[in-house]
């Protein structure tokens, strides 16, 4: 019994001492904080001045100032040039900055990101000498071209109106292209080729009606609709959808996408292709044609899926001239723009890789699906 009491006393005393110790620690910590004994005065970062300069670049940001927008437009090529140089030394960081810049609505941020990375480079890094030489070369005076775009035909006054008109039909183009299993941008190439061709042949009509209203020209004679589809090509597209033995056959999924609602198919087809109010079928026939010739060439072991210039050329010349071969040529109708000849396929190629309307009609990894 006495032994148990002694054990109890030891345990009790141990607990009391433990709580006393904890209380001492807590009280000491409180007093240390209260009396600022534990405060860390810190230190001034070696790069403090540079941090300030980089951050203060934001003060230049005024999107409502026309002069600012012009300044950014002029600086952007330099920014990408320097970013490319950074990529030679640190490709990971350059790629991260490039991707991040896409998500910023403030163009100054790109310059700040580049400057921050440069700040962490060793002062003796050869990067800085390369940058100096690069900027010296870039800043050398040159005789600038009087044209805004390197694609001369895109400098015509009709170009901006055409882009506005095409964007108005974005939903229809996207919808038709999806049904046909084709990248919408390829359909737009066909639209542009045909509409540019019409600017010359119907210039007076364009000036009076099409230009001011910013709408697309719809043909109603030998070539039909916005994309200039021939009636016999349209019939061939319909037949290929049904013929499972055809080299153009796209499978059961698309077999019925052009089914008619009446017994008078010729009249209904014509109305589809010249409808001024709804251009859906004009885009659908165009997209289906592109997919059918792509299928024809792929079946013949000549895949032209990544040759927009050939696809657009074939669209212009029709099924009769679509003959798979190893080295197809770009061409089609010759279009004269301000005295200079262009081909239908060449114009399509220029637009496809120009970057114009890329936000509305982006580049797909897989153009046919």
Same domain, 128 and 241: no
6: pLDDT strictly greater than 70: no
Same domain, 176 and 113: no
Say if 197 falls within a structural domain.
yes
Check residue 222 and give its pLDDT.
86
| 210 domain-assigned | yes
Burial category of 118 from C-beta neighbours within 10 Å (exposed 0-12, middle 13-18, buried 19 and up): middle
Average pLDDT over residues 172-185: 98
- From 138, 172, 206, the end of a domain falls on 138
Among 112, 138, 164, identify where a domain stops: 138
Q: Are residues 162 and 246 in the same domain?
A: yes
Last residue of a domain, one of 138, 169, 192: 138
Residue at 284 is within a domain: yes
pLDDT in tens, 285-310: 999 999 999 999 999 999 999 999 99
Domain housing 189: 152-352
121 with 204, same domain?
no
Rounded mean pLDDT of 338-354? Answer: 94
pLDDT tens for residues 122-143? 989 999 999 999 999 988 887 7
Which residues make Cβ contacts (< 8 Å) with residue 284, sequence separation at least 6?
A: 176, 179, 180, 257, 258
User: Are 277 and 158 contained in the same domain?
Assistant: yes
Q: Tell me whether residue 243 is in a domain.
A: yes
Average pLDDT over residues 9-33: 69
224 within 8 A of 234, measured Cβ to Cβ: yes
Query: Is 120 in the same domain as 166?
Result: no
Q: Mean pLDDT in the chain?
A: 86
Torsion of Cα atoms, 239 then 243 then 246 then 248, to 10°: 50
Tokens for 159? 């170009």
Report the distance separating Cα 134 and Cα 283, nearest Å: 46
Query: What pLDDT digit, counting tens, does each position of 316-330 carry?
Result: 999 999 999 999 999
Does 83 share its domain with 224?
no
pLDDT at residue 169, rounded to an integer: 97
Same domain membership, residue 210 and residue 156: yes
Could you tell me if 311 and 175 lie in one domain? Answer: yes
Is 30 domain-assigned? no
The pLDDT assigned to 228 comes to 95
Strands (E), 112-271: 219-220, 223-225, 229-230
Query: Could you tell me if 62 and 210 lie in one domain?
Result: no
Q: Give a yes or no: residue 295 inside a domain.
A: yes
Which pLDDT value is given to residue 315?
98
What is the domain count for the chain? 2
| C-alpha distance from residue 225 to each of 46, 239, 294 (Å) | 68, 20, 22
Burial 207-227 (b: 16+ CB within 10 A, else e): eeebbeeebbbbbeeebbbbb
Please indicate whether residue 51 or residue 279 has the higher confidence score (pLDDT).
279
Query: Contact 255/307 with Cβ under 8 angstroms?
Result: no
Q: Could you tell me if residue 22 is inside a domain? A: no
* Pair (346, 204) in one structural domain: yes
C-beta atoms surrounding 347 within 10 Å: 26
Tell me how far apart the alpha carbons of residues 237 and 176 are, in angstroms, rounded to a whole number.
14
Q: 347 and 210 in one domain?
A: yes
In a domain, 4, yes or no: no
> Is residue 368 pLDDT above 60, yes or no?
yes
Position 287 scores a pLDDT of: 99
């Amino acid at each position: 019994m006495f032994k148990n009491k002694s054990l109890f006393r030891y345990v009790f005393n141990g607990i009391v001492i433990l709580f006393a110790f904890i209380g001492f620690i807590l009280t000491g910590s409180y007093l240390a904080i209260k009396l600022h004994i534990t405060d860390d005065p810190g230190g001034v970062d070696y790069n403090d001045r540079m941090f300030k300069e980089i951050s203060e670049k934001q003060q230049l940001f005024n999107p409502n100032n026309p002069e600012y927008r012009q300044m950014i437009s002029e600086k952007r090529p330099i920014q990408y040039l320097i970013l490319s140089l950074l990529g030679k030394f640190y490709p990971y960081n350059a790629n991260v900055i490039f991707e991040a810049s896409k998500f910023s609505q403030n163009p100054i941020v790109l310059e700040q990101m580049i400057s921050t990375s440069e700040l962490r480079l060793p002062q003796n890094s050869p990067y800085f000498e390369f940058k100096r030489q690069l900027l010296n070369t870039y800043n050398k005076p040159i005789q600038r071209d009087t044209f805004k775009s390197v694609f001369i035909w895109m400098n015509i006054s009709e170009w901006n109106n055409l882009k506005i008109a095409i964007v108005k039909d974005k939903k229809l183009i996207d919808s038709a292209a999806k049904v046909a299993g084709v990248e919408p941008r390829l359909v737009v190439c066909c639209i542009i080729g045909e509409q540019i061709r019409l600017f010359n042949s119907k210039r007076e009509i364009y000036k009076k009606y099409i230009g001011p209203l910013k709408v697309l020209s719809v043909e109603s004679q030998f070539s039909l609709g916005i994309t200039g589809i021939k009636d016999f090509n349209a019939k061939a597209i319909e037949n290929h959808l049904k013929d499972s033995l055809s080299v153009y056959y796209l499978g059961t999924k698309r077999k019925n996408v052009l089914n008619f609602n009446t017994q008078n198919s010729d009249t209904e087809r014509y109305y589809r292709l010249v409808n001024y109010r709804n251009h859906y079928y004009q885009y659908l026939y165009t997209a289906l044609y592109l997919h059918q010739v792509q299928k024809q060439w792929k079946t013949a072991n000549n895949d032209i899926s990544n040759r927009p210039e050939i696809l657009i050329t074939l669209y212009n010349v029709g099924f009769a001239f679509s003959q798979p071969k190893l080295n197809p040529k770009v061409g089609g109708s010759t279009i004269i723009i301000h005295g200079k000849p262009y081909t239908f396929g060449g114009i399509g190629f220029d637009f496809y890789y120009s970057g114009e309307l890329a936000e509305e009609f982006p580049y797909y990894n897989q153009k046919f699906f």
